[in-house]
Structure 1
Amino acid sequence: MAKLIQSDLDHCLDVTRRGKSNLWFVGRSLPGPRRAMFASAYASMRVVDDFVDDEFLVLPDDERLRRRSDAHKRVDGWLTSMEAAICGNADPAKMEIAFPDPRIQRAVAACFDGGDIGPGPWQLLARSMHRDIDETPFGDWDDFIDYCEGATVAPASIFLYVIAADLNGPPSTADRLPAQAADCVRDMAIFCYLVHIARDIIKDAAAGPALLTIPDDVLHTHGLTRTDLAGAVRGGSDRRLRDLISDLAARAGDYRLRGEGWRDRLMPLLGLRERAAFGALMTVYGALHDRLKDDPGFALDRDPEQREELRRSVLAAADIPF
């Protein structure tokens, strides 16, 4: 069995804390072995997403066109290294040159050695990253949901695997999770993603149309396009923008209702600390969702401290350090 190197784990923990996401905060509260699994898997996904969003999509138009093929190759290289780590056939010598970072590949290989998770979540994320690189438009809601399978359902499925797996031998959820767990992950992940989109609409619109994942048909319903959404955000008081946030919150509510039903069935299958982490994650997003429903203008507040204070209070109530 591959041995986890502490410096590799420390590097993964550094990568996961960069964005200080809600998932990172609750992941810190997991017991040791599960925290290591979560950190390595989340870091492996964080690096490829950061490459696409923060390195490639922010380039000027002509530069993105010139470097698009290379960007696809980098994502392919990332996926190859992660498939090798998950499937247990990573060559230690090749790990030294693996993209994006051999430390992450080694940590994933050690934490998931012999497990039954399979490479599916990483393959789905790669598919969504390729779509981002191609800047394929989201024409309708079905396009958006298809994209979500990699962008948010895949990381969520890993999180559920980590908190539910039997670790008495090689990691396994084969006899611990019902078949409906996949439906739970999908509904809850899409709920959280929609809340995230509504909450960060100012930041994403300012970054440019390439980073907006709101489907065109939803924008058109409110008389908006990707291009003029940025103008509406700068104005801040545009009624169309508030209506759009209300729309996203309402759509999120449908997924929340179903997801919370699945959550209640899954909770008894988890350990005490794992249950607390899972519950805290959903409580944070639930509190954000409630606030957005009550006041769509909450997402347009230029002072991020309000949002941070809400998250801080929810995590504190769940006894999770901020």
Structure 2
Amino acid sequence: MTDSADTSQATEEDFAFCRAIAGRANANLLHAARLLSAPRQSFFFATYAAMRLIDDAVDDEFLCRPAPDREKERGAMLADIDQWQAQCLGVAEEGPLPGTVLRALQATAHRSDLGDAPWTGLADAMRRDVREQPMPGWDDFLAYAAGATVAPATIFIYLLGAQPAEDGFSWALPEQPVHYAADLGIFCYLVHILRDLAKDAERSERLVTIPDALIEHAGLDKAGLSDAIKSRDPRIAVLASDLRQRADSHLESGRHSLQAFKALIGRREQLALSGLIGIYESLFSRFSTDYFAGMADAPALEQALRKKLLPS
């Protein structure tokens, strides 16, 4: 069946705006989505742009501000998240999303059976960030990751498996998208954390989403992570090893569900998924030897893998 989802209520300029927002992140998910058909790409860029805008607002415009500013602006930021969620759920017109992105959502996600869970999940994770809730243990990390990373992964999986309906997309596979997305999303997120640890720790300890228990088990504290990385403290390698073991567990679990999923989707969608996973598996393997060398090599390696596995 040819994908022909109707996006007539949004203009080309609306989707171009969404592409520009998504492109700022230069994420692997973005490159994978470019392998999909035009209607699926439109859906992806609309949803990804919406998520990118609220995530950037929390990370760049709130969490990196001085403590007095954060305290003063916390209520307004939480209200923005509430309004963002209402816009994404299709129950409000006004909010932080610009009209261009909202129209793109109305022409794509709002005409599908994607459901509320991805939007609610990400909103909950962003509220946790803004409230600066502690993350003492691994269960707290998993609860946070359910929104921060499983939510966008679920939308990507939905787009790979959904089929064109009368004017949108609908899902008819044996399991819900989150079943196929959960372990994949957490594995990729842990690889992101390993890749970006130096950058995040230097910008703000509030951007480091590693449970306190893991940091303390390595003999470190969150406030000292940036200095420890710069000095190549061997305790950082201990922390990285712990994260790798946990990532490997999710990779192994995810392989089983994704193997079944791949048999149910089209060839183009299979290529996008396999290429995306291949990038993260290769990065993960590079971090499994010398972690500090892996961090240094990651940007060039990632770029080379994109050209090889997700050629545009």
TM range (shorter): over 0.9
Please show how residues 147-226 of structure 1 align to structure 2 within 5 Å: 147-175=144-172, 177-179=173-175, 181-226=177-222
- Cα deviation per residue 1:290-316 (whole Å; 9 max; x = unaligned)? 111122123442xxxx32321233223
User: Which residue matches 2:67?
Assistant: 61
Residue identity matched to 1:263: L
Please show how residues 1-322 of structure 1 align to structure 2 within 5 Å: 3-84=9-90, 94=93, 97-175=94-172, 177-179=173-175, 181-235=177-231, 237-301=232-296, 306-321=297-312
Cα shift at 1:224 = 1.0
Q: Matched residue pairs, number?
A: 306
Cα shift at 1:26 = 1.1
> Aligned pair in 2 of structure 1 residues 100, 28: CA closer, same or farther (>3 Å)?
same
Tell me if the contact between 1:284 and 1:314 (Cα under 8 Å) persists in the aligned partners. yes
Cα shift at 1:319 = 4.8
SS of residue in 2 equivalent to 1:18: helix
- RMSD of aligned alpha carbons: 1.6
Alpha-carbon distance in 1 for matches of 2:117, 2:204:
30
- Cα deviation per residue 1:161-218 (whole Å; 9 max; x = unaligned)? 112111142444432x222653321111000000100111100110121111000011
Alpha-carbon distance in 1 for matches of 2:295, 2:271:
31
Cα shift at 1:113 = 4.1
Tell me if the contact between 2:35 and 2:310 (Cα under 8 Å) persists in the aligned partners. no
> Aligned pair in 2 of structure 1 residues 25, 310: CA closer, same or farther (>3 Å)?
same
Alpha-carbon distance in 2 for matches of 1:127, 1:28:
28
Unaligned runs of 5+ in 2: 1-5
SS of residue in 2 equivalent to 1:130: helix
Alpha-carbon distance in 2 for matches of 1:21, 1:162:
17
TM-score by length of 2: 0.94
Tell me if the contact between 1:181 and 1:262 (Cα under 8 Å) persists in the aligned partners. no
TM-score by length of 1: 0.91
Alpha-carbon distance in 1 for matches of 2:22, 2:221:
33
Alpha-carbon distance in 2 for matches of 1:114, 1:183:
22
Cα shift at 1:17 = 0.4
Unaligned runs of 5+ in 1: none
Tell me if the contact between 2:31 and 2:310 (Cα under 8 Å) persists in the aligned partners. no
